[in-house]
Chains A and B, each alone.
Chain A
Amino acid sequence: MAKLATATRNPALAGHSVGGHGVSLKVLEPASRMSLRARPAAVAALSKALGMTLPDKAKTSSNKSGRTALWLGPDEWLVIDEAGGDPVADCASVKGLHSAVDVSHRNVAIAVTGPNAAATINAGCPQDLSLAVFPVGAASRTVLGKVEMVLLRTGEEAFRVECWRSFSDYVYGFLSEAARDG
Chain B
Amino acid sequence: MAGSYRISGQGRLTPAKTARFTFDGKAMTGLAGDTVASALLANGVHLVGRSFKYHRPRGILSAGAEEPNALVTVTRDAARKTPNVRATVQELYDGLNVASQNRWPSLSFDVGAVNDLASPFFSAGFYYKTFMWPKAAWKNFYEPNIRAAAGLGVAPDQPDPDHYSARYAHCEVLVLGGGAAGLAAALAAAETGVRVIICDEQAEFGGALRFEKGAVIDGQDGWNWAQATAARLAAMDNVQVLPRTTAFGYYAQNFVGLVERVTDHIARPGRDEPRERLWQVRARRVVIATGAIERHMVFANNDRPGVMLASAARTFLNHYGVVVGKTVGVYTANDSAYAAAIDLKKAGVGVAAIVDLRDNPAGPLVDEARALGIEVNHGRAVTSANGSQRIKSMTVQAKAGGAERTIAVDALLMSAGWTPSVHMFSQSRGKVAFDDATKRFLPGTYAQDCVSVGACNGSDSLEDTVAQSLEAGANAARDAGARPSRGVALKVEASEGWGGGMLGSGPGAGADTKVKAFVDFQNDVTAKDIRQAVKEGMRSIEHVKRFTTNGMATDQGKTSNMHGLAIAAEALDKDIPQVGLTTFRAPYTPVTFGAIVNHARHGLFDPTRKTATHAWAEAHGAVFEDVGQWKRAWYFPRAGEDMHAAVDRECVTVRKAAGLFDASTLGKIEVVGPDAAKFMELLYTNPWEKLEVGRCRYGIMLREDGFIYDDGVVGRLAQDRFHVTTTTGGAARVMHHMEDYLQTEFPNLDVWLTSVSEQWAVIAVQGPNSRDIIAPLVEGIDMSDAAMPHMSVREGKICGVPTRLFRMSFTGDRGFEVNVPADYGRAVWEALWAEGQKHGACAYGTEAMHVLRAEKGYIIVGQDTDGTVTPNDAGLDWAVGKKKTDFVGIRGLMRPDLVAKGRRQLVGLKTRDPRTVLEEGAQIVENPKQAIPMKMIGHVTSSYWSANCDRSIAMGVVAGGRDRIGETLYVPMPDGVIEVEVTGTVFFDEKGDRLNG
A and B touching (Cβ–Cβ under 8 A): yes
- B272 near A21 with CB under 8 A, answer yes
* CB nearest neighbor in A for B607: A170
- B168 near A122 with CB under 8 A, answer yes
Which of B170, B606, B611, B823 meets A146, CB within 8 Å? B606
- Find chain A residues with CB under 8 A from B166 CB: 123-124
Q: Which of B182-190, B640-648, B751-759 contacts A (4 or more CB under 8 A)?
A: B751-759
State which residues 812-840 of B face A: CB under 8 Å.
820-828, 831
The reply on A30 being an interface residue by CB < 8 A is yes
- B280 near A126 with CB under 8 A, answer yes
Contact with A along B140-174 (1 / 0, CB 8 A): 00000000000000000000000101111110000
Which of A7, A124, A147 meets B827, CB within 8 Å? A7
Q: How far is the CB of A70 from chain B (nearest CB, A)?
A: 15
Given the interface pairs A7-B799, A99-B673, A123-B167, the reply to whether A105 lies near B195 with Cβ below 8 Å is no
- B607 near A146 with CB under 8 A, answer yes
Contact with B along A97-126 (1 / 0, CB 8 A): 111111111110000000000010011111
- A5 near B799 with CB under 8 A, answer yes
- Find chain A residues with CB under 8 A from B756 CB: 101, 103, 106
Chain B CB within 10 Å, residue with most, of A5, A8, A37, A128: A8
How far is it, in angstroms, between the C-alpha of A8 and the C-alpha of B826 when the chains are bound?
A: 8
- A103 near B754 with CB under 8 A, answer yes
* CB nearest neighbor in A for B169: A122
Which of B611, B760, B827 meets A8, CB within 8 Å? B827
Contact with A along B41-58 (1 / 0, CB 8 A): 000000000000000000
The reply on A83 being an interface residue by CB < 8 A is no
Q: How far is the CB of B460 from chain A (nearest CB, A)?
A: 38
- Find chain A residues with CB under 8 A from B820 CB: 7
- B274 near A145 with CB under 8 A, answer no
Given the interface pairs A97-B750, A101-B756, the reply to whether A174 lies near B779 with Cβ below 8 Å is no
- Find chain A residues with CB under 8 A from B434 CB: none
Given the interface pairs A101-B672, A167-B609, A181-B277, the reply to whether A10 lies near B754 with Cβ below 8 Å is no
How far is it, in angstroms, between the C-alpha of A166 and the C-alpha of B779 when the chains are bound?
A: 29
Given the interface pairs A145-B599, A167-B607, the reply to whether A39 lies near B168 with Cβ below 8 Å is no
- B827 near A165 with CB under 8 A, answer no
Which of B167, B604, B799, B821 meets A104, CB within 8 Å? B821
The reply on A50 being an interface residue by CB < 8 A is no
- Find chain B residues with CB under 8 A from A169 CB: 603, 607-610
- Find chain A residues with CB under 8 A from B826 CB: 10
- B779 near A106 with CB under 8 A, answer no
- A99 near B672 with CB under 8 A, answer yes
The reply on B528 being an interface residue by CB < 8 A is no
- B822 near A165 with CB under 8 A, answer yes
- B823 near A11 with CB under 8 A, answer yes
* CB nearest neighbor in A for B732: A148
The reply on B670 being an interface residue by CB < 8 A is yes
Q: How far is the CB of A6 from chain B (nearest CB, A)?
A: 3
- A101 near B754 with CB under 8 A, answer yes
How far is it, in angstroms, between the C-alpha of A119 and the C-alpha of B240 when the chains are bound?
A: 13
How far is it, in angstroms, between the C-alpha of A170 and the C-alpha of B827 when the chains are bound?
A: 24
How far is it, in angstroms, between the C-alpha of A107 and the C-alpha of B759 when the chains are bound?
A: 8
The reply on B966 being an interface residue by CB < 8 A is no
- Find chain A residues with CB under 8 A from B280 CB: 126
Given the interface pairs A105-B821, A177-B599, the reply to whether A5 lies near B800 with Cβ below 8 Å is yes
Interface residue SS majority, chain B: mixed
Contact with B along A50-70 (1 / 0, CB 8 A): 000000000000000000000
Q: How far is the CB of B840 from chain A (nearest CB, A)?
A: 22
Given the interface pairs A130-B195, A165-B758, the reply to whether A181 lies near B272 with Cβ below 8 Å is yes
Chain B CB within 10 Å, residue with most, of A7, A8, A12, A167: A7
State which residues 62-109 of A face B: CB under 8 Å.
75, 97-107
Given the interface pairs A37-B754, A103-B754, A130-B195, the reply to whether A9 lies near B604 with Cβ below 8 Å is no
- B282 near A128 with CB under 8 A, answer yes
Contact with A along B758-771 (1 / 0, CB 8 A): 11100000000000
* CB nearest neighbor in A for B831: A7
- B610 near A105 with CB under 8 A, answer no
Chain A CB within 10 Å, residue with most, of B168, B603, B757, B777: B168
Given the interface pairs A5-B799, A146-B607, A166-B630, the reply to whether A178 lies near B165 with Cβ below 8 Å is yes
Q: How far is the CB of A48 from chain B (nearest CB, A)?
A: 20
How far is it, in angstroms, between the C-alpha of A125 and the C-alpha of B514 when the chains are bound?
A: 57
Interface size class of B (residues with CB under 8 A): 35 or more
- A9 near B607 with CB under 8 A, answer no
Given the interface pairs A130-B170, A181-B165, the reply to whether A10 lies near B823 with Cβ below 8 Å is yes
- B754 near A126 with CB under 8 A, answer no
- Find chain A residues with CB under 8 A from B274 CB: 180-181
Which of B170, B758, B760, B828 meets A166, CB within 8 Å? B758
- Find chain B residues with CB under 8 A from A140 CB: none
How far is it, in angstroms, between the C-alpha of A145 and the C-alpha of B610 when the chains are bound?
A: 18
How far is it, in angstroms, between the C-alpha of A127 and the C-alpha of B280 when the chains are bound?
A: 11
The reply on A173 being an interface residue by CB < 8 A is yes
- A103 near B599 with CB under 8 A, answer no
Chain B CB within 10 Å, residue with most, of A100, A147, A164, A165: A165
- Find chain A residues with CB under 8 A from B779 CB: 4
Q: How far is the CB of B570 from chain A (nearest CB, A)?
A: 48
The reply on B776 being an interface residue by CB < 8 A is yes
- Find chain A residues with CB under 8 A from B754 CB: 35, 37, 99, 101, 103
* CB nearest neighbor in B for A126: B168
- Find chain A residues with CB under 8 A from B317 CB: none
The reply on B490 being an interface residue by CB < 8 A is no
How far is it, in angstroms, between the C-alpha of A130 and the C-alpha of B752 when the chains are bound?
A: 34
Given the interface pairs A1-B776, A7-B801, A174-B599, the reply to whether A125 lies near B168 with Cβ below 8 Å is yes
State which residues 601-636 of B face A: CB under 8 Å.
603-604, 606-612, 630
Given the interface pairs A1-B776, A8-B827, the reply to whether A166 lies near B603 with Cβ below 8 Å is no
Contact with A along B766-793 (1 / 0, CB 8 A): 0000000000110100000000000000
How far is it, in angstroms, between the C-alpha of A147 and the C-alpha of B605 when the chains are bound?
A: 11
The reply on B992 being an interface residue by CB < 8 A is no
- B609 near A174 with CB under 8 A, answer no
The reply on B674 being an interface residue by CB < 8 A is yes
- Find chain A residues with CB under 8 A from B608 CB: 169-170
- Find chain B residues with CB under 8 A from A8 CB: 824, 827
Given the interface pairs A10-B823, A145-B600, the reply to whether A166 lies near B777 with Cβ below 8 Å is no
- B673 near A97 with CB under 8 A, answer yes
- Find chain A residues with CB under 8 A from B170 CB: 128, 130, 133
Q: How far is the CB of B666 from chain A (nearest CB, A)?
A: 13
How far is it, in angstroms, between the C-alpha of A11 and the C-alpha of B822 when the chains are bound?
A: 8
How far is it, in angstroms, between the C-alpha of A24 and the C-alpha of B604 when the chains are bound?
A: 19
Contact with B along A141-182 (1 / 0, CB 8 A): 000011100000000000000001111011001100110110
How far is it, in angstroms, between the C-alpha of A181 and the C-alpha of B604 when the chains are bound?
A: 16
Q: How far is the CB of A132 from chain B (nearest CB, A)?
A: 9
Other 14 A-B pairs with CB < 8 A, given A7-B824, A125-B168, A170-B603: A6-B800, A7-B800, A99-B752, A102-B759, A102-B821, A105-B821, A105-B824, A106-B757, A119-B167, A123-B166, A145-B599, A166-B758, A169-B608, A181-B277
The 10 closest A-B pairs by CB, nearest first: A6-B800, A7-B827, A166-B609, A99-B672, A170-B607, A99-B752, A37-B752, A7-B799, A128-B170, A181-B165
Give 16 pairs: A residue, B residue, CB < 8 Å, sorted on A. Answer: A6-B800, A7-B798, A97-B750, A100-B672, A101-B670, A101-B759, A104-B821, A106-B822, A122-B167, A126-B168, A128-B282, A130-B170, A170-B604, A170-B608, A174-B599, A180-B274
Q: Which residues of B contact A (CB under 8 A)?
A: 163, 165-170, 195, 272-274, 277, 280, 282, 599-600, 603-604, 606-612, 630, 670, 672-674, 750-752, 754-760, 776-777, 779, 798-801, 820-828, 831
Q: Which residues of A contact B (CB under 8 A)?
A: 1, 4-12, 21, 30, 35, 37, 39, 75, 97-107, 119, 122-128, 130, 133, 145-147, 164-167, 169-170, 173-174, 177-178, 180-181
